[in-house]
Amino acid sequence: MDSFAIGVDLGATTVKSGIVDRTGNVLEQVTVDTKAAEGPATVIRQILRTTTELLSRHGKEKCAGLGIGSPGVVNLDSDTVSYPPNFAGWADVKLATAIAREYSFPVRVENDANAAALAEANYGAGKDHRDFLFVIWGTGIGGGVILDKKIFHGASGGAGEIGHVTIDYNGPDCNCGNRGCVESYIGQHYLSGRTKDLLRRMPKNSPPSKILQLVEGDLEKIEPFIISRAAEQGDATARQILKEAGALLGVALASALNILDLNIAVIGGGISAAPQFVFEAISDSIRSRVLEAHRPNVKVLRATLGNKAGIIGAASLVL
Amino acid sequence: MDSFAIGVDLGATTVKSGIVDRTGNVLEQVTVDTKAAEGPATVIRQILRTTTELLSRHGKEKCAGLGIGSPGVVNLDSDTVSYPPNFAGWADVKLATAIAREYSFPVRVENDANAAALAEANYGAGKDHRDFLFVIWGTGIGGGVILDKKIFHGASGGAGEIGHVTIDYNGPDCNCGNRGCVESYIGQHYLSGRTKDLLRRMPKNSPPSKILQLVEGDLEKIEPFIISRAAEQGDATARQILKEAGALLGVALASALNILDLNIAVIGGGISAAPQFVFEAISDSIRSRVLEAHRPNVKVLRATLGNKAGIIGAASLVL
C-alpha cells in the first residue's frame, strides 16, 4: 500500500524535493544545487540525487509517484519542458520520461505556478473553493487557474498569465515586449525603483524611513520583502507603495475574473507575508471594478503554504 | 430518423427561430415580436408561436431538439435564464423546462454570445480551429470562449466578458461601474461621440466628410455601421476612428489571449461587415502586445455567419 508521493520543486538555482503524505504534509525535504548552467543531463542527475536519497529512507514500494513543478512551458503531455528561463542548453526535454526510466511509479511534470495553485487548492487557502485564480507576486507576477479543483490549462498549457494583463495601454515598457502590463508596475524591479524615488524625494527634515534603516542607508538593497517588513513596522512610505501596488494588481485581477468568470483570488509568492492591508487594497480595487454579478462574492485570500507550495503541488499531481 | 433542429435567437425586441439542418443551413426562418414588456409567460408563448409554425411544416418527428440563445445570465443547468436586460418581470425563469413541456424532444438554453460562438466554431470562421475567443462588437462588446470545440463556461457560465477588460485604469467611466473598460472606448456610444467630436473639429475648408453625407448632416444619426460604410468609401475620418478602435480592441484581446492561452480571435457583431483594415488593426495591435509564445500564431478572423449565428448556434446545442 503506497502512502506518500515525491514532489520536486525545480528552480533555476535549487532543486527542492520532499516526501509528501496524503494529507499534504512534507515529511522530509532535501535541497541540492540545480547546476542549470551544465545542461539538462546534469539537472536530471541532480533531481535523481534528491529522489534517490529520499527513497532510500522512505522505501520505493510505498511511493505512489513523483511530480515535478518546473519553470518554462510544460506541454499538455505532462512530460515535455520547453525553454525554462536561465537553464543552459535546454530546448525541449522530455523530463518525466527521463526520470521515469529509473522508477516503476508514474512521473508527471507541471508548470511550477500551476503546481503551487494545485497545492493551495487541495491543502491551502483554496481548500474550501472549487474555482479560483492563483497569483504569484514575487520578482514577476505569475498565475494559475483552478476550475472545478483541477488546473485549467487553456489551449496549450499556458493559461493564467496574469502578470501580462495590460492595465494602461500607454504604460511603461514591460520585459515581455508589451507596455503597461501589471508586472511592469508591481514586479520587484518597479516596486524597488518607486521606493527609491519616493525616498529621494522626501523632505530632509522628515522622520527617517524604516526602509532606510533596514537597508542601512543603501538604496540598492531595497527589495519587496524589505518594503513589506517596513510596512509591518508602520512605515508610511512603505505602506503607501504597497497600497498603490495592491490597487494596481486589483485592476488586472478584475479583468481576469471577468474573463474567467471567477470570484476568488489566492495571492502567493513573496508578498503572501505582507500585512493584511495589502490584501484589503487588492480586494477593494477588484470590488470597485469587477462586473456587478461577481461583486458580492469577491474574496482575496492569502496563500497559506508559503514556499512549500511547489513541493506539495508537485506531489499532488500523482497523489 | 431526425434530420433538423430548431434554433431560437431570443432578443429583447424579436424572437427569430429557424429550422437548421445538420450542415448548419437555415432552411426556414420566422420572426415575431418578443413582447418582452408583457412578462415571461407572453415571451414563452411568442417563442412557441414560432416553433409551432415551423414544426407544422417540417414535422415534429424529424426534429432532433430545440436550442435557445438568450440574453442575460444562463445557468449551467442549460435551463434557467436570470435577469435578461430589457425583459419586464423576469427574475429567474426555467425557460427550457417551460418549452419542453410542449414537446418530446430535448430543449436547451445557452447565453446568446456563447451560442453565436458555437455556431462560428461548428460552421463559420472557427470551423478549422479547436480553440478561439469569439468577440461580438456591436452596441457593446461581448464574447464567448471556445475550447476544444466546446463552450468554456468558467465557474458559473459567464466566461468571456471581453468588453469589461480594463485597458486604462484611469480611463473613462463604463456602464458597468468600472472605468477604462474597452467597451467604454469602442462601444457604439463612444464611437459615435468620438466621430462627432472629430467632425466638429474639422477645418471649415476641408472636403466634406462621407459620414455627414450618409447622415444628411444630422450628427445625431451617426452609428457604427455608418462609420463603417463611410470607411469603405474611403473617408479619412471614418478610417482613422475604426483603426484607433481596432487597436484598442487589440489591447483587451492581448490580455484575454494571455490569460486564456489562446491565439485566435473571431470578430462578429455589426463590425464583422467592416473593411479589412479594421481586422488588420486589431491583429497588429494584438501581435505587438501578446506574449512571445503566442505571437507567431495570432490570427484575427471575421465571423462569417452574420446575424444567423444566433439561430445556428442555438440549434447546434442539440444537434
Give the tens place of pLDDT for each residue, A40-49: 999 999 999 9
User: What is the Cα A219 distance to its own chain's centre?
Assistant: 26
Which pLDDT belongs to residue B1? 59
Which pLDDT belongs to residue A270? 83
Among partner residues A157, A167, A262, which is closest to B154 by beta-carbon distance? A262
> Which DSSP category does A190 fall into?
H
Query: Does A125 have pLDDT greater than 70?
Result: yes
Cell triple for B6: 430548431
Which pLDDT belongs to residue A1? 60
Q: How far, CA to CA in Å, does B125 sit from each of B19, B69, B264?
A: 21, 19, 11
Distance from CA of A96 to the nearest CA of B (A): 22
Instruction: Find the residue in A nearest to B285 (Cα).
Output: A178
Instruction: Find the residue in B nearest to A294 (Cα).
Output: B158
Between chains, do A147 and B154 touch, taking CB under 8 Å as contact?
yes
Phi and psi angles of residue A156, each rounded to the nearest 5 degrees, phi first: -135, 10
Query: Does A275 have pLDDT greater than 80?
Result: yes
Is A117 or A223 the better-scoring residue by pLDDT?
A117
Q: pLDDT digits over A236-251, tens only? A: 999 999 999 999 999 9
From first to last of its 319 residues, what are the pLDDT tens digits of chain B?
568 999 999 999 999 999 999 999 999 999 999 999 999 999 999 999 999 999 999 999 999 999 999 998 899 999 999 999 899 999 999 999 999 999 999 999 999 999 999 999 999 999 999 999 999 998 889 999 999 999 999 988 899 999 999 999 999 999 899 999 999 999 988 888 989 988 988 888 888 889 999 999 888 888 888 899 999 999 999 999 999 999 999 999 999 999 999 999 999 998 888 999 999 999 999 999 999 889 999 999 999 999 999 999 999 999 9
For testing the chain A interface, which of B261, B262, B288 should be mutated: the one with the most A CBs within 10 Å? B261
Residue identified by cell 514577476 is: A140
Between chains, do A153 and B261 touch, taking CB under 8 Å as contact?
yes
Q: pLDDT digits over A63-108, tens only? A: 999 999 999 889 999 999 999 989 999 999 999 999 999 999 999 9
| Cβ atoms of residues A20 and A27 within 8 Å | yes
| Of residues A248, A246, A177, A252, the one with CA closest to residue B166 | A252
Among partner residues B166, B178, B254, which is closest to A178 by beta-carbon distance? B254
Distance from CA of A226 to the nearest CA of B (A): 27
Residues of B in contact with A255 (CB under 8 A): 164-166, 255, 259
Between chains, do A166 and B260 touch, taking CB under 8 Å as contact?
no
Distance from CA of A233 to the nearest CA of B (A): 30
Which pLDDT belongs to residue B40? 98
Cell triple for B199: 467632425
Apex CA B214: angle with CA B212 and CA B216, to 5°?
Answer: 65
Distance from CA of B143 to the nearest CA of A (A): 9
Among partner residues A147, A157, A256, which is closest to B259 by beta-carbon distance? A256
Q: Does A159 touch chain B (CB under 8 A)?
A: yes
Q: What does the alpha-carbon distance between residue A260 and residue B137 come to, in Å, rounded to a whole number? A: 19
Q: What is the mean pLDDT of chain A?
A: 94
Between chains, do B256 and A254 touch, taking CB under 8 Å as contact?
no
Which pLDDT belongs to residue B293? 86
Q: What does the alpha-carbon distance between residue B178 and residue B181 come to, in Å, rounded to a whole number? A: 7
Between chains, do A155 and B288 touch, taking CB under 8 Å as contact?
no
Q: What does the alpha-carbon distance between residue B87 and residue B75 come to, in Å, rounded to a whole number? A: 17
Cell triple for A267: 495571492
The number of CA neighbours under 13 Å toward the Cβ of B251 is: 29
Q: Does A151 touch chain B (CB under 8 A)?
A: no
Q: Give me the DSSP letters along A288-307.
A: HHS-TTTGGG-EEEE-SSGG
| Cβ atoms of residues B268 and B120 within 8 Å | yes
Which pLDDT belongs to residue B312? 98
Q: What does the alpha-carbon distance between residue A125 and residue B3 come to, in Å, rounded to a whole number? A: 51
Which pLDDT belongs to residue A271? 85
Query: Does A131 have pLDDT greater than 80?
Result: yes
Which pLDDT belongs to residue A282? 98
Residues of A in contact with B85 (CB under 8 A): none
Distance from CA of B132 to the nearest CA of A (A): 9
| Of residues B70, B106, B151, the one with CA closest to residue B318 | B106
Report the complex ipTM. 0.93
Query: Does A139 have pLDDT greater than 90?
Result: no
Residues of B in contact with A161 (CB under 8 A): 258-259, 261, 291
The number of CA neighbours under 13 Å toward the Cβ of A175 is: 12
Residues of A in contact with B251 (CB under 8 A): 166, 169
DSSP H or E run through A6: strand A4-10
Q: Does A286 touch chain B (CB under 8 A)?
A: no
Phi and psi angles of residue B170, each rounded to the nearest 5 degrees, phi first: -105, 15
Which pLDDT belongs to residue A279? 97
| Cβ atoms of residues B20 and B65 within 8 Å | no
Which pLDDT belongs to residue A206? 83
Cell triple for B293: 509564445
Which pLDDT belongs to residue B246? 97
Instruction: Find the residue in B nearest to A173 (Cα).
Output: B289
Helix axes B224-232, B188-201, angle to 10 degrees: 60
Which pLDDT belongs to residue A58? 96
Residues with Cβ within 8 Å of residue B208, at least 6 apart in sequence: none
Residue identified by cell 433538423 is: B4
Apex CA A135: angle with CA A131 and CA A138, to 5°?
Answer: 165
Residues of B in contact with A147 (CB under 8 A): 154-155
Based on its alpha-carbon atoms, the radius of gyration of chain B, rounded to whole angstroms, reads: 20
Q: Name all domains of chain B by residue range, CATH numbers in brackets.
A: 4-120+308-316 (3.30.420.40), 129-303 (3.30.420.40)
Residues with Cβ within 8 Å of residue B288, at least 6 apart in sequence: A177, A178, B250
For testing the chain A interface, which of B182, B260, B263, B264 should be mutated: the one with the most A CBs within 10 Å? B260
Q: What does the alpha-carbon distance between residue B243 and residue B280 come to, in Å, rounded to a whole number? A: 9
Q: Does B161 touch chain A (CB under 8 A)?
A: yes
Which pLDDT belongs to residue A73? 87
Cell triple for B74: 444562463
Q: pLDDT digits over A16-30, tens only? A: 999 999 999 999 999
Q: Does A221 touch chain B (CB under 8 A)?
A: no
